Structure 1
Amino acid sequence: MSRVRNHPSADPSIQQQRLNGIRIVPLLMIALFAGMGGWGISQLLDPMIMPVRVVSVDGEIKYLNKQGLEQTVVQAVSGNFFTVDLIRIRNQIEQLPWVKSASVRRIWPDTLAVRVDEQVPLAYWGEDAMVSPQGEVFRPKRLPRLQGLVTLSGEEERADRITREYLKMRTLLQTAGLQLKYLRVDARQSWRIETEEGLLLDLGRRDVMPRLSRFVQLYPFLRGQVDAIPERVDLRYTNGFSVYWQANTEQQAQMDSPSSGARIAGK
């Protein structure tokens, strides 16, 4: 009779021990790698490891204080190269009065690159601010004294519309040889213009551009009719305007629309 000899490896208990051993090794490796990963992450979070050492500033900067900008970035930096909050830094930069927009990025191994788009001053806004061509009002700590800039005034929430109208008015007045100096929109939304020549134009609240256009068309005729300089023009009429002359005695002339025939009545 043949006998079957059982190999030790066939013992179920021994096989189970081997299986358990095989399982333990990967688990130990996973634990080891996890521990190393945790250690690595803690090192990356350490602000003393890989600190930010350099701040570079790019962009066409004319009015912004570059040293003040760099200081703002340094004060906003918390953490190291990997953990620094770029969005927080950008928001801090964009709170500076002369900054229109900003971007911040990392450059290996220790640099933050800042790019700034500066506000372009189109005009003064009231007594303590400036306004950009897009109608954004901003308040520098010190207003620069810039030649050729007019002053706009009105409710700040309407700055974009006032700016757009100003640009059209400036172009229209230039066709008549007049330079706009001051534009004011009061609380009743009534528009008034002062030119560099000292001429005041009352435009009222409605049909502002059509009224100004009518005045510009008749301005050469107006200057040629009376031997005096117009001082103030009231354009708040449907088909005409009133002119107050700069003379020894006050004069007023009533100008009808061209369709009904121009007429000057001295007073």
Structure 2
Amino acid sequence: MNRLLLSTTLLSLLYSISLLSGVEPTTFKIVNKCRRTIWPGILTGADRPLLNPTGFTLKTGKSRTLRVPRSWSGRVWARTHCSTDSSGKFVCAAADCGSGRVECSGSGAIPPATLAEFTLNGDQGLDFYDVSLVDGYNLPMLIIPKGGTSGGCSPTGCLVDLNGACPRQLSVARGNGSRESVACRSACEAFGEPMYCCSEEYSTPDTCRPSVYSEFFKHACPRSYSYAYDDRTSTFTCAGADYVIIFCPLPYTR
């Protein structure tokens, strides 16, 4: 009887350990190496456990570590040139989420914005991640997996400051009389044409091909998404990793 009780207790303990290991959260360490304050924003995907906070202030040289549910998916980005206007509304010149507050509260980045995209614990237990310039660009960004057990676990990102080199048709100025370029739009946002947006008759990988504008992004940042069907060289996988997300990785600072 004692053996049976011991055996049952041991099995229960092992089962509890397996459950705990299955829900162990991932961590995102978000680092600001830019020369100025940034305001990271976070958008959780539909029907996924919400990640809080949805936005916060991160001063230069500082970092913040978040515990992320293992089944989470969503986007992380950074807003720049932010302030509170005369009406008390929080606004940003680039990658604003439009909430009027530091917290984005379920609103995504208004393009153009450099995006870190994640789907954790997906197919075969792998995390899928990428840095996307499909919605344009506003800051250099690097994703580094730490402690992964399988899946490649390669770093990815866009290390180059593209704002100064942005084609004139895509460049976004800071405003208020300043000509400083704070972001670089995608061709889809700038022109709205189906051939650039991979929509209508261009809605398949065979019909939507790289443009001269997406090639500008791809040449500068070959490991980042440059247009909607740029999967082959832009999506990375890892299992069991934590992630460091660095804005303005050295030596490229703004």
TM over 0.5: no
Greater relative CO, 1 or 2 (CA 8 Å, sep 6+): 2
Structure with higher helix content: 1
TM-score category, normalised to shorter length? under 0.3
